[in-house]
A and B are shown apart, each in its own frame.
Chain A
Amino acid sequence: MTSANDLISIRNLQVSLMSARGLVHAVRGIDLDVQRGEIHGVVGESGCGKTVTAKSIMRLYDENIMLSGGHIFFEGYDMFSLSEREIQALRGSEVSMIFQDPMTALNPLYTIGYQLEETLTNKGVKKMEAAARAVKLLEDVGVNPPESRKSQYPFEMSGGMLQRVMIAMAISCNPKLLIADEPTTSLDVTVQAQILDLLTRLRDGRYMSILMITHNFGIVAEICDRVSVMYAGGIVESGDVREIFRDPRHPYTSDLIKSIPRSGTRGTLLATIPGTPPDLLREINGCAYAPRCRYASGVCAEAPPPPRSISESHSYACVRGT
């Protein structure tokens, strides 16, 4: 069911990757919708399939990743039926992406100005206009002074500045969707806040949607409108951020929220979740979280929990009733 307000709808996406140990079922049939103009968070532990999901949208696959099923609709079009050429035209102009490590995301041998202008000229913008727009973009993301910064190489800039450049590059062709894959993980905390602030500001100014991939629930609380909580390749709970914070229904979500460090708790132990995520090489029959779940009972290991909706904007997958 995709509604007109959905920019992107992921339906039953299944992705596997070939590893040295065998086929890893990284994404196990997820549904996810990103609405126009919203910041949608995808949160979960490392290796839960967040990044693979994000890369699936742009089909940024390495040769060892394979799509095993499902659909991604972008403005109603089935992305998986597009040719490589069509998806290439979409990359950068309709959907763009920023990455975890800005220090290695730019080519070390070209100036940031060149790499920024290249994005534009590749989409058919004239050289002169691209140069002018690059200056404007750098200014918009707070890289100052833009004219002299343009001729700098990536190794001459800090991580925070480079992430700003990456954002400038990503928004240069006014995409409808920006995928941000852990954009602040490698930055220090003050810079983190600035980047998050910048992203929110850009969303407001350009009416673009952001798919925010993160392992940090704090970031979700700060900037996201809606969130999908991922665990072991599946989405366990999704909905409005405030609703989920107020009333988390899935035990994993509530455990995650409990493990956010808060002020005023000095001297007390930070809550942690015991155990480790399941081995994604294996088939999971019941609820993937059952082995670590406080409330697990026999029924949890037998069949996958049915999805439940408690409101228009909040659903979860757990056998425990309301």
Chain B
Amino acid sequence: MADRILQYIVVLIASSAVIFILVRMNPADPVAVILGGRQTNPQTVANIRREFNLDKSYFEQYRAWIGGILRGDFGVSFRYRRPVTALVKDRVPVTAGIVIMSAVISVLVAIPTGIFAALKRNTWIDTGISLIQLLLVACPPFLTSILMIWAITAVAPTFPFVGSYDTFWQFLRRIFLPSLALSFSMIALTSRVTRSCMMDQLQANYRTVAVSKGLPPSAVIFRHCLKNAIIPVITVLGSQSGILIVGSVLVEKVFSLAGLGSVLIDAIKASDYPIVQGVTMLLVFVFMTISAILDIAYCVIDPRIRLT
């Protein structure tokens, strides 16, 4: 356990350094962004550089940034001159909501269809499910989003996919469509993996034994086969969670939601170092938390992993 935590710390430090370097490889000069095209003289430029520590060496800048993070201070946005935490705080629930909701939709749809396809393998039902999966994985989220908006306005014009929200319920309704659009490719992949893992497990020897003990088919399929098949599915879910976070940036734009995505993209374009660094570190942290949870899930499910 201790070396796991050490591992996470090493990854955090390494990724912070990579982020720091990548941000500074952007050719756009932050000072130009801060000035916003106003008339200026060398004295103002020098002052701004001093104000935002841009006159110091890269090493000094990095140390100041990390030191700030450890105190919970992610710096001040160049463009808005407000703390990054304050700028980002309101936007986290939107992105988190979309990512969580689309993950839940994916799991609820993908695992049952995957099991069903495995049980009905090589029948027209299996083929039908495969075709739908192919279609879903081939559609990029922004395209499905647009098609969805088009379909919704035609079929149910009263469904709220734009505008503001006040209650939690309204919030959920508002993020439902973007989450659905985002979940499609994850549904396809997860369902596919569930199907193939389930098919392997249905052919395992212990399955024949479970049947020969007189267990009913439901116990054989869910208690025995599914528990074995789910381990690789969890791995896929974990790697897909990163794609979801990135994908939410797209659907937020299409559905005009104020999430982390638009902040991040605008900040990258403007070389607003503190925001880019802060948001990216947050994503790294979230991603690592997810993989830590998955590691624990493996141990709970599989006793063979527990010992090593």
Interface positions of A (Cβ within 8 A of B): 58, 60, 62, 88-93, 96-97, 99, 101, 104-109, 118-119, 122-123, 153, 155, 166, 169
Neighbouring A residues of B209 by C-beta, 8 Å? 97, 99, 105-106, 166, 169
Q: Mark B204-226, 1 if CB is under 8 A from A, else 0.
A: 11101111111110010000100
Tell me if B208 and A99 are in contact (CB < 8 A): yes
Top 7 A-B pairs, shortest CB-CB distance: A92-B214, A91-B214, A104-B205, A92-B213, A107-B206, A97-B212, A153-B303
Tell me if B302 and A109 are in contact (CB < 8 A): yes
Neighbouring A residues of B224 by C-beta, 8 Å? 107
Q: B11 within 8 Å of A by Cβ?
A: no
B77-109 interface (Cβ within 8 A of A): none
Q: B61 within 8 Å of A by Cβ?
A: no
Interface positions of B (Cβ within 8 A of A): 203-206, 208-216, 219, 224, 227-228, 301-304
Which of A91, A101, A153 is the one whose CB lies under 8 Å from B212? A91
| Known A92-B214, A97-B209; 12 more pairs at CB < 8 Å | A58-B212, A88-B214, A88-B215, A91-B214, A93-B214, A97-B212, A99-B205, A99-B208, A106-B209, A108-B304, A119-B214, A122-B213
Tell me if A153 and B304 are in contact (CB < 8 A): yes
Can you name 13 A-B residue pairings with CB atoms under 8 Å? A60-B208, A91-B212, A91-B213, A104-B206, A105-B209, A107-B206, A107-B224, A109-B301, A118-B215, A119-B214, A122-B219, A123-B214, A166-B209
Neighbouring B residues of A122 by C-beta, 8 Å? 213-216, 219
Neighbouring B residues of A101 by C-beta, 8 Å? 205
Tell me if B206 and A89 are in contact (CB < 8 A): no
Q: Is the interface of B mostly helix, strand, loop or mixed?
A: helix
Quote the shortest CB–CB distance from A102 to chain B (angstroms). 9
Neighbouring B residues of A58 by C-beta, 8 Å? 212
Neighbouring A residues of B228 by C-beta, 8 Å? 107-109
Neighbouring B residues of A89 by C-beta, 8 Å? 214
Which of A88, A91, A105, A119 is the one whose CB lies under 8 Å from B205? A105
The residue in A62, A92, A109 that gathers the most chain B C-beta atoms within 10 A of its C-beta is A109
Tell me if A60 and B214 are in contact (CB < 8 A): no
CA distance A91 to B211 in the complex (A): 8
CA distance A92 to B203 in the complex (A): 20
- Contacts A104-B205, A106-B206 given; indicate if A169 touches B303 (C-beta within 8 A): no
Q: Residue of A at shortest CB range from B206? A: A107
Neighbouring B residues of A108 by C-beta, 8 Å? 206, 228, 302-304
Tell me if A107 and B210 are in contact (CB < 8 A): yes
Quote the shortest CB–CB distance from A170 to chain B (angstroms). 8
CA distance A114 to B179 in the complex (A): 40
Q: Residue of A at shortest CB range from B121? A: A63
Which of A96, A109, A153, A155 is the one whose CB lies under 8 Å from B213? A96
Tell me if A155 and B205 are in contact (CB < 8 A): no
Q: Residue of A at shortest CB range from B231? A: A109
CA distance A107 to B209 in the complex (A): 9
Neighbouring A residues of B204 by C-beta, 8 Å? 104
- Contacts A105-B206, A108-B228, A109-B228 given; indicate if A119 touches B213 (C-beta within 8 A): yes
CA distance A114 to B211 in the complex (A): 16
- Contacts A107-B228, A153-B304 given; indicate if A88 touches B216 (C-beta within 8 A): yes
Neighbouring B residues of A169 by C-beta, 8 Å? 209, 213
Tell me if B212 and A60 are in contact (CB < 8 A): yes
Quote the shortest CB–CB distance from A187 to chain B (angstroms). 15
- Contacts A60-B208, A122-B219 given; indicate if A109 touches B303 (C-beta within 8 A): yes
- Contacts A153-B304, A155-B303, A155-B304 given; indicate if A90 touches B208 (C-beta within 8 A): no
Quote the shortest CB–CB distance from B215 to chain A (angstroms). 6
Neighbouring A residues of B212 by C-beta, 8 Å? 58, 60, 91-92, 96-97
CA distance A122 to B203 in the complex (A): 22
Quote the shortest CB–CB distance from B195 to chain A (angstroms). 16
Quote the shortest CB–CB distance from B33 to chain A (angstroms). 55
Tell me if A90 and B303 are in contact (CB < 8 A): no
Q: Residue of A at shortest CB range from B306? A: A153
CA distance A27 to B174 in the complex (A): 63
Quote the shortest CB–CB distance from A78 to chain B (angstroms). 19
Neighbouring A residues of B206 by C-beta, 8 Å? 104-108
CA distance A58 to B212 in the complex (A): 7
